[in-house]
Structure 1
Amino acid sequence: MSMQYAKQYAKISASSETESADPHRLIQMLIDGALAKLVVAKAMIERRDVAKKGENVSWAISIIGGLQASLDLQKGGEIAQTLNALYEYMTIRLAQASANNDASGLDEVIHLMKTIKEGWDGIRPQAVDMFKDNQASERSPA
């Protein structure tokens, strides 16, 4: 019974955090979610649980697709273009790794995602300031 309550609490906690998160934090949460799914998928390869491996890889691919869809390729310049290509590569690599039960392929994508996470985490102060500035300009009369 306590495991069921723990899962319910985690779901409510995540929902609450999502509702109050700024755009930068939402991307952090997606990156963290993708990493968590990839770690579980790798463990499922090692346990030879093909169904759960597939579930987790699919979920990670969906999250990466969401990250890719959030890119503004017009305003984001070279960084957005590079991330777009990297997300595309990761999606293809995950599909290949899943099809071949290739843990090293998952490791490669985990490494790439961690690199993105480090960069994204590093710009948090600037992103929060920019978000606050944007909110303030939207509220002030023109």
Structure 2
Amino acid sequence: MFAPTSAAAYSKVGVETHIASADPHQLILMLFDGALLSINSAAIALENRDVATKVKHIGKAVEIITFGLKASLDGNVGGELPGRLATLYDYMCSRLVHANANNTPAPLIEVAGLLRDLREAWAGIASTNTDKTYPTGKLEA
């Protein structure tokens, strides 16, 4: 039987392997999934009145949105879209902070819905994008 730390280490290796083999498009999907998982975990912690866990998961979601999704935007392509997405990501983070400060689930539900919609749209791009190269080094939104 594996100890909890052994199972966590094994899981981490699996995630790291998946990240190493993922293309840029898949990495963005993984960021969406990670943010959604963190928000769901925060909602459960909020419901259970587990403040420390709620704070941890909301903080992780904010980091994924800010340093993952927003940082991956390339303002040199896509016209107005990168700027609009950056504004939306900022809004999401402010709503998450509001949920954290006020112990209210409504902003968590709102942000999760926005992220699901964006994830679905991003996943739809995969089937239409036959050119898997990203010459700028940044991910195109």
* Helix, strand or coil at the partner of 1:116: helix
Corresponding position of 2:121 = 119
Q: Which residue of the partner structure matches residue 8 of structure 2?
A: 7
Q: 2:78, 2:99 → 1: CA distance? A: 30
Residue-pair matches, total: 133
Residue 137 of structure 1: aligned partner: none
**What's the TM-score, normalizing by structure 1?**
0.88
TM-score for both structures, normalised by structure 2: 0.88
Consecutive unaligned residues in structure 1, runs of 5 or more: 135-142
Matched to 2:105, the amino acid is: A
Q: Which position in structure 2 is the counterpart of 1:88?
A: 90
The superposition leaves residues 107-139 of structure 1 with CA deviations (integer Å, 9 ceiling, x where unpaired) of 000000000010011111233x221586xxxxx
Matched-pair identity in %: 41
The residue that corresponds to 2:42 in the other structure is 41
TM superposition outliers: structure 1 runs of 4+ over 6 Å: none
CA deviations on 1:16-65 (whole Å, 9 max, x unpaired) are: 00001100000000110000000000000000001110000000000000
Unmatched 5+ stretches in structure 2: 136-141
> 1:70 is paired with a residue of what secondary structure?
coil
In 2, distance between residues paired with 1:90 and 1:133?
27
Q: Which amino acid letter does the alignment assign opposite residue 24 of structure 1? A: H
